[in-house]
Amino acid sequence: MLGGPRQNSLVNLTWRNAAWSSRRYRSRNGRNKESAMPPIPRLEPYRGPALFSYGFRPFFLFGAIYAGLAVVIWLPVFCGELALPTAFSPRDWHVHEMLYGYVSAVVTGFLLTAIPNWTGRLPLQGAPLMVLLIAWAAGRVAVTLSGTIGWLPAAVIDGGFLLLVGAAAAREIMASGNWGNLKVVALIGLLAAGNVAFHLEAHFEGAADYSVRIGMAAVIMLITLIGGRIVPSLTRNWLARENPGRLPAPFGRFDAVVIAASALALLLWIVLPQMHATGAALLIAGLLQLARLARWAGDRTTRERLVLILHVGYAFVPFGFLLVGLATFDVVPAAAGVHAFAGGAIGTMTLAVMTRASLGHTGRTLTAARATQAIYLAILLAAFARIGAALAPAWLIPLLAVSAIFWVAAFFGFGAAYGKLLVARPSA
């Protein structure tokens, strides 16, 4: 039976104070466990399909399925056994669909679920949400068929999705007068600009370059900002309840310094990726990020994988900064750091958020079942194998295959384990 005090919520966060709203219940064995987050308040009932009741449902589900499917397609493309009718090079298609395809879906699902909590307005649902999903799917098809329909129509179709998301977000935030959260629209605008730049670079320059780093930097900063709020917040709540003692350090000036140093390092990486000064800035940011993570008491969360995975996922952020920084001094290949960011930080943190939010907003207990733990293990193995492939080129193909297998297992596993939850009504 649900009851008890209100705790902290992943999507019920603001840019100034992230919180995770949850409740506690007493299980059959008498142990208190964290359970479902209360539903987003609404003024009128929604009677349509549950899949289109909140943004996280369709975009987490189809985003995860596409993340797995895109890699199933990518490996034979990389090996020269399959040719896609795309105007992009094989490498650019893969990068674009992971960064501006999959990640954009997850960010959209998260924001469309968070914005009603920020604004107190009804969530985007029903037909408008379905239109957004169709726009996202149309972009995926258009990019893949861009060699047939032309690069410009593909760019217009693909670019339209993030513009729609930005317009929807801006409308809700401005209508509520909650001007501080217009930073969300700025983030969507940065991703949208990077996406447009990707199409332009791929067509006029023959390969995407700056636009890849723009998109990657935007998402890493999102993890730094939002992850830097929710990871210590969720950890503090769990420790206070389950393992009293040392707690994460509160947000303070040190965090602000880390955020500023990270933003500066990523900006330099975007515009001057080969400069030693950029490498030094990246290394400093990596060490600061590592110190920040160490302040969050992640070593005390090993009993609950749903909390621990947030720390493990965030650990790839400093790891990525350090590897990208070392690459500017030719110590390691540049691809190692890029995949620490992409497969490690982005892959792991998105799945960590997707699993937790899906459990909470569908009325399930906030604890990692075996299937969820298997998803976490698979994404970590995929990330380490992909980083290893960059560091050990002699083992490139075998490690790519291993990484692809575990990546697909993680995201298809999410679809299998959480699909039924995402299309069903929340538990009472």
Interatomic CA distance for residues 145 and 131, integer angstroms: 21
* Same domain? 356 vs 313: yes
Q: What is the pLDDT of residues 56-107, one digit of tens each?
A: 999 999 999 999 999 999 989 988 899 999 999 999 999 999 999 999 999 9
β-bridge partners, 25: 2, 33
Whether 10 maps to a domain, the answer reads: no
* Same domain? 267 vs 154: no
Residue 72: strand, helix, or coil:
helix
- Average pLDDT (148-161) is 97
List CB contacts of 106: < 8 A, sequence separation 6 or more: 59, 60, 63, 350, 353, 354
Indicate whether 15 pLDDT > 70: no
Closest CA relative to residue 190, chosen from 223, 208, 161, 217: 217
Q: What total number of domains does the chain contain?
A: 2
* Same domain? 264 vs 386: yes
* Same domain? 182 vs 220: no
Whether 236 maps to a domain, the answer reads: yes
pLDDT at 362: 87
Whether 25 maps to a domain, the answer reads: no
- Average pLDDT (201-220) is 95
Q: What is the pLDDT of residues 259-274, one digit of tens each?
A: 999 999 999 999 999 9
pLDDT band per the 50, 70, 90 thresholds, residue 307: very high
Distances (CA, A) of 296 to 228, 237, 290, 415: 9, 12, 10, 30
Average pLDDT in the chain: 88
Compute how many other C-beta atoms are within 10 angstroms of the C-beta atom of residue 44: 6
* Same domain? 167 vs 85: yes
Higher pLDDT, 310 or 189: 310
pLDDT at 175: 82
Whether 23 maps to a domain, the answer reads: no
Compute how many other C-beta atoms are within 10 angstroms of the C-beta atom of residue 14: 14
Residue ending a domain, choose from 150, 174, 208: 208
* Same domain? 227 vs 350: yes
pLDDT band per the 50, 70, 90 thresholds, residue 22: very low
Is the separation of the CB atoms in 317 and 266 below 8 Å? no
Residue ending a domain, choose from 208, 237, 265: 208
* Same domain? 119 vs 101: yes
pLDDT at 44: 62
Indicate whether 32 pLDDT > 50: no
* Same domain? 186 vs 255: no
* Same domain? 201 vs 216: no
pLDDT at 424: 87
pLDDT at 103: 97
**286-323: burial string, b at 16+ Cβ within 10 Å, e else:** bbbbbebbeebbbebbeebbbbbbbbbbbbbbbbbbbb
Determine which of 27-36, 217-226, 275-284 has the lowest per-residue pLDDT on average.
27-36
pLDDT at 171: 84
* Same domain? 175 vs 271: no
Q: What is the pLDDT of residues 164-207, one digit of tens each?
A: 998 888 888 888 777 777 777 787 888 999 999 999 999 999 99
pLDDT at 302: 95
Interatomic CA distance for residues 331 and 328, integer angstroms: 8
Indicate whether 25 pLDDT > 50: no
Place of tokens 């160490």: 294
Whether 37 maps to a domain, the answer reads: no
Residue ending a domain, choose from 208, 233, 257: 208
Indicate whether 288 pLDDT > 50: yes
* Same domain? 150 vs 247: no
Q: What is the pLDDT of residues 326-345, one digit of tens each?
A: 999 999 999 999 999 999 99
List CB contacts of 220: < 8 A, sequence separation 6 or more: 262, 266, 317, 320, 341, 345, 346
Whether 235 maps to a domain, the answer reads: yes
Closest CA relative to residue 261, chosen from 234, 290, 237, 241: 290
Whether 20 maps to a domain, the answer reads: no
Closest CA relative to residue 262, chosen from 379, 354, 341, 334: 341
Whether 8 maps to a domain, the answer reads: no
pLDDT band per the 50, 70, 90 thresholds, residue 6: very low
Structural tokens at position 387: 């980083």
* Same domain? 157 vs 266: no
Indicate whether 357 pLDDT > 80: yes
Indicate whether 117 pLDDT > 50: yes
* Full residue range of the structural domain in which residue 248 is found: 210-410+417-428
Indicate whether 365 pLDDT > 50: yes
Indicate whether 28 pLDDT > 50: no
Indicate whether 254 pLDDT > 50: yes
pLDDT at 187: 77
Indicate whether 5 pLDDT > 70: no
Q: Which amino acid is at 261?
A: A
